[in-house]
Chains A and B, each alone.
Chain A
Amino acid sequence: MSAVLVLAEVPALPLNEAGKYVAAAYIVLVIIILIYVSIMAIRLSRIERELGELLELSGAPKPEPEPAALAAHQESTPA
């Protein structure tokens, strides 16, 4: 009860007004992490492409896909 009285007296922003600022601040953090993950994904795909090119240059046979990946591919391919 005393805590409610204290909160009623203090000049705090009401939840509906402060909530948008708090949400915005935490969304900024999420966006920064998402942008970083996207950049890492682009880099990873570039490295994968380069490795594929190098594999072709080396003349080595392409590695066999893993059985699980192969089964998933066959399931998704129409007969």
Chain B
Amino acid sequence: MYGKGLRSLSIVTVAAMALALSLVFFYAPLEAEQGFLQKIFYIHVPLAIIALCGFVVGALFAIAHLRTRDSSWDMRSYVTIHMSLIFAVGALITGSIWAKGSWGHWWVWNEPTLVSFLIVFLLYATYQPLRFAIEDPERQSRYASVFAITAGAFVPMNFIAVRLSTAYLHPRVLGGTSNLPGSMRLTFMVSLAAVTLLFVTMCKYELTAKHTRAQVRALRRRLVGEDGSPARRGRTAVPAVGTQAAGRSGL
């Protein structure tokens, strides 16, 4: 079942978030150049990293779907990408707030890291409409998986291309953690772990909710005799998951 271990995972996530926030505000020292404003990085950078990693994980789930034809992998891919988009919105907003405080502008168009992240975000923003545009569940899941794999391959390529570019205007946190003092590195790592746990917990909640809804629909079909045809299901971007396969294992 998707909901297995959800309670303990939720407790661990809340504890990790509380620990991370405590470290950020009471343990990590003020950074010499940025001062108090640098505290934003402990939430902005993990959000951005997890969002990008989520897109890649979504692509891996899509590969598993195309290989096995098991619709539960499509559901995992859909939920991971959906959640990554939410985290990406968080990264964009917190990044803009930091930019306003530090640079005096909400957005800087000639900064490669910012623009490349926005391009990745906009690319994945088309995933949901793509699914919605295809009514047949089988074709929808196949096309969505192909999209997830192609876009997922684009994410690391995009990341490397920005790293190789000569303009290093955006502060480097990942890869530069060896230059951070021990207390700052520890705080950053705990924040990253906490945001990762938050991502996994939210994905599991989403999967459990979708699986429960699928089970209720299956029960309704059994009791009322409604058919599960696409026409009956209506147009939706959510993958059609069989209640047997969906709950076989967790995330």
Interchain CB contact under 8 A, A18 and B101:
yes
Size bracket of the B interface: 35 or more
Interchain CB contact under 8 A, B94 and A28:
yes
Known: A26-B43, A54-B216. A21 touches B35 (CB 8 A): no
Q: Looking at the complex, which one of A10, A22, A29, A36 makes contact with B33 (CB distance below 8 Å)?
A: A10
B18-56 interface code vs A (CB 8 A; 1 in, 0 out): 000100000000111111110110011001000000000
Interchain CB contact under 8 A, B35 and A18:
yes
* A70 in the interface (beta carbon within 8 A): no
Interchain CB contact under 8 A, B97 and A19:
no
Residues on the B chain within 8 Å of A18, using CB: 35-37, 101
Interchain CB contact under 8 A, A12 and B220:
no
Known: A36-B202, A54-B219. A22 touches B90 (CB 8 A): no
Q: How far is the CA of A44 from the CA of B216 in the complex (A)?
A: 12
Q: Looking at the complex, which one of A28, A40, A44 makes contact with B93 (CB distance below 8 Å)?
A: A28
Mostly, the B contact residues are helix
* A72 in the interface (beta carbon within 8 A): no
* B122 in the interface (beta carbon within 8 A): no
Interchain CB contact under 8 A, B202 and A22:
no
Question: Which chain B residue has the least Cβ–Cβ distance from A59?
Answer: B223
Interchain CB contact under 8 A, B37 and A29:
no
CB distance from B35 to the nearest CB of A (A): 3
List residues 37-62 of chain A with CB under 8 A from any CB of chain B.
Answer: 40, 43-44, 47, 50-51, 54, 57-58
Binding site for A on B (CB under 8 A): 21, 30-37, 39-40, 43-44, 47, 86, 89-90, 93-94, 97-98, 100-102, 198, 202, 205, 209, 212-213, 216, 219-220, 223-224
Binding site for B on A (CB under 8 A): 6-7, 10-15, 17-19, 21-22, 24-26, 28-29, 32-33, 36, 40, 43-44, 47, 50-51, 54, 57-58
